[in-house]
Amino acid sequence: MVNDRTVVADKDASISSRNSGMGHSRLPSKSRLLTIPRKQKSLVRMACFESTCHANRNRIEAVALQQRPLRESSRSSFHKHNFLAQFAGSASHLMLLLPPRVSSPGHWLQGSTYLVRRDPLRCIPKWFEEYGDLYRITSPLGQATMVGAPELARQVLVDRYARYQQKSRAYAVLRILMGNGLVTSEGEFWRGQRKLVQPAFHRRRLDALFAMMVDRVTDCVERLAPVAAANGALDLAPLLSQLTLDIISRAMFSSDVQGAAVDVSRHIAALNEYALRMLRRPWLFLLPRRIPTPFNYAQYLSLKSLNTIVHGIIQARRRQPEAHDDLLSMLLSACEEGTGRGMTDEQLRDEVMTVFVAGHETTANAMSWLLYLVSQHPEVEEQLLAEIGGRLPEGGLKPDNLGAFSYVRQVIEESLRLYPTIWSIGRRCTAEDELGGYRIPEGMNVVVPIFHFHWSDRFWPEPQKFDPSRFSPARRPPPEPLIYFPFGAGPRNCVGNQFAVQELMILTILFHRRYQFRLQPGFTVEPDPLITLRPMGGMMMTLGARLPLSGSRQNTVPSRNFARS
């Protein structure tokens, strides 16, 4: 019998998956299974570690712990390949082999990680097809397990999140800017911070920020009027990035420090670009940041100025703590239950930076993708305009009106399915675990590629089609299985989720009410998966006054956007 706990050591078998659930299992034939001899019964509780014989690693498929005799020939090969068997004491938990390792040639030095870095949107789903719902990519710096089934993703992000709450190495670059804020912190410290920060994003707080959001978006729309009058084109990606940074800085600091907020925005935008450059050239991580290369020095200066400004604002607020209706005053007044302790200046600085960084580029990119998708689908645009025209109240948008724009919301949800701006989540396993029949050792990076769940035809009919009606009340996917989670899942989900949706709704309504957006002829759109999924080379669009809608463009997303052929 072969089940999740079965150990299969088949030296000729190709890698096959045995993950539970929706995976496609390619199990080897029964005659090829190795089982463990009765006299090794005590070894039933053994730990079967990865073969030290490199060439054989990938051939060993999973670990059998059936109490049946081992065939002689197989037994010798079992020993020959030097499994490290250990008693696991009284633990009844069976320890299994590591997930199959991707054997694509990759890079002579960087291994399969190199391919993932070059073209993750193509390789990651392809390898799920080849290896099943769990596989490993390797590089000399470490290895990572990719998780591709909803129930396994739920184990990592929700059920056993405590074992996977450390952030993976990729988050190191974010620490430069965010310090030990909510996105990058771990363990008890994170739990305490989450309790302090969460109330700042309560529904009532968002209502208080609503008028400011409408005001900033309206101002931006007005400034675009000359471009639209000339039927001109512009790159909407930096424009939206500026706008969302403006919104988050006003949400954070209200209006009393807008001069400083502009500087904060400028430095954050610059540091964000440094972080992206580091991700594109990972060898920059090897250079200590103290070496004064031009790159490091520019980064150091920006960071220093930023810290000076933010600490200045925090101290001024501490000196004059009269009520401000903004996120900073919420963070300043937040206290731990029981102790009544608030945040130190350093903690405040890190949380301010975290909210700035996490809360602007994500939303800006989401809006770029939404404008692009709507521009390609006239029938969606028509329905969107009908709703906006029919439901926009005379006195302008108010928090209570947003609920009436159900189609706008569906368009946002479907855009985030096709272009989840946080396209993957990385964790590090802190205590040995078993996932889908494989062993996940302590220290292993575990990656949940959100986009794979959103794009897979295992979970969605015609997944490449842009079809907002998937999120209509009759059709919207239930929370289980976990196949749609643009804002993450479990205790570490996005704290700014509702902030983002509110902002995106205001943007969608006010932008489309006023202008028609069309991709500039000849401009090619391609996703660039770095920290966020952003449009490579921006989003060049022409703006025009609204015209009667016509055309027969296909209701599908061009495939080049998803996979480079």
Which spans of this chain sit near ligand HEM (rule: CB under 6 A)? 182-183, 194, 248, 354-355, 358-359, 362-363, 366, 421-422, 425, 486-488, 492-496, 499-500
Q: Please report how close the Cβ of residue 532 comes to ligand HEM at its closest, in angstroms.
A: 8
Closest by CA to 62, choosing from 95, 23, 20, is 95
As a whole number of angstroms, the distance between CA 191 and CA 193 comes to 6
Residue 489 C-beta: closest distance to ligand HEM, Å: 8
Of 170 and 224, which CB lies nearer to ligand HEM in the complex structure? 170
Tell me the closest approach of the beta carbon of residue 266 to ligand HEM, in angstroms: 19
**Between residues 127 and 164, which has the closer beta carbon with respect to ligand HEM?**
164
Smallest distance from the beta carbon of 364 to ligand HEM, in angstroms?
A: 9
Residue (of 275, 467, 499, 490) closest to 379 by Cα position? 467
Burial class for 535, CB neighbours closer than 10 Å (0-12, 13-18, 19+): buried
Of 45, 48, 32, nearest to 438 by C-alpha is: 48
Choice between 134 and 425, CB closer to ligand HEM: 425
Residue with tokens 């897979």: 456
Token pair belonging to 445: 């990076």
- Comparison of 314 and 327: residue with beta carbon closer to ligand HEM: 327
- Identify whether the C-beta of residue 97 lies closer than 8 Å to the C-beta of residue 134: no
Q: Which is nearer to ligand HEM, 194 or 391 (CB)?
A: 194
Q: Give min distance, CB of 193 to ligand HEM, in A.
A: 8
Separate counts of helices (H) and strands (E) for the chain: 19, 14
Q: In sequence order, what are the residues at sequence separation of 6 or more whose Cβ sits closer than 8 angstroms to the Cβ of residue 51?
A: 57, 60, 81, 82, 83
Query: Of 19 and 354, which CB lies nearer to ligand HEM in the complex structure?
Result: 354
Contacts of 228 (CB under 8 A, 6+ apart): 514, 515, 543, 544, 545
Q: CB neighbours (10 Å) of residue 18?
A: 23
Residue whose CB is less far from ligand HEM, 370 or 541: 370
Cβ closest to ligand HEM, residue 132 vs residue 535: 535
CB of 77 to ligand HEM, least distance (A): 42
* CB nearer ligand HEM, residue 2 or residue 212: 212
| Smallest separation (angstroms) from ligand HEM to the CB of 61 | 31
Residue nearest to ligand HEM (CB): 496
Q: How far is residue 347's CA from residue 55's CA, in Å, rounded to a whole number?
A: 48
Instruction: Tell whether omega for the bond before 481 is within 30 degrees of 0, i.e. cis.
Output: yes
Do 445 and 403 meet the contact criterion of CB atoms below 8 Å apart? no
Nearer to ligand HEM (CB atom), residue 10 or residue 413: 413
Q: Return phi, psi of residue 145, to 5°.
A: -100, 130
Q: Find the shortest distance in angstroms from Cβ 233 to ligand HEM.
A: 25
Percentage helix, strand, coil, to 5, in the chain? Answer: 50, 10, 40
What is the smallest separation between the CB atom of 116 and ligand HEM, expressed in angstroms?
A: 18
Tell me how far apart the alpha carbons of residues 91 and 68 are, in angstroms, rounded to a whole number.
20
178: phi then psi, degrees, rounded to nearest 5: -90, -10
DSSP-derived pairing of the beta strands 445-448 and 142-147: parallel
**If DSSP states are collapsed to H, E and C, what string results for 38-75?**
HHHHHHHHEEECCCCCHHHHCCCCCCCCCCCCCCHHHH
Minimum distance, C-beta of residue 218 to ligand HEM, in the bound complex (Å)? 19
Given a contact cutoff of 8 angstroms between Cβ atoms, the answer to whether 358 and 470 are in contact is: no
Q: Which is nearer to ligand HEM, 66 or 362 (CB)?
A: 362
Minimum CB separation of residue 339 from ligand HEM in Å reads: 21
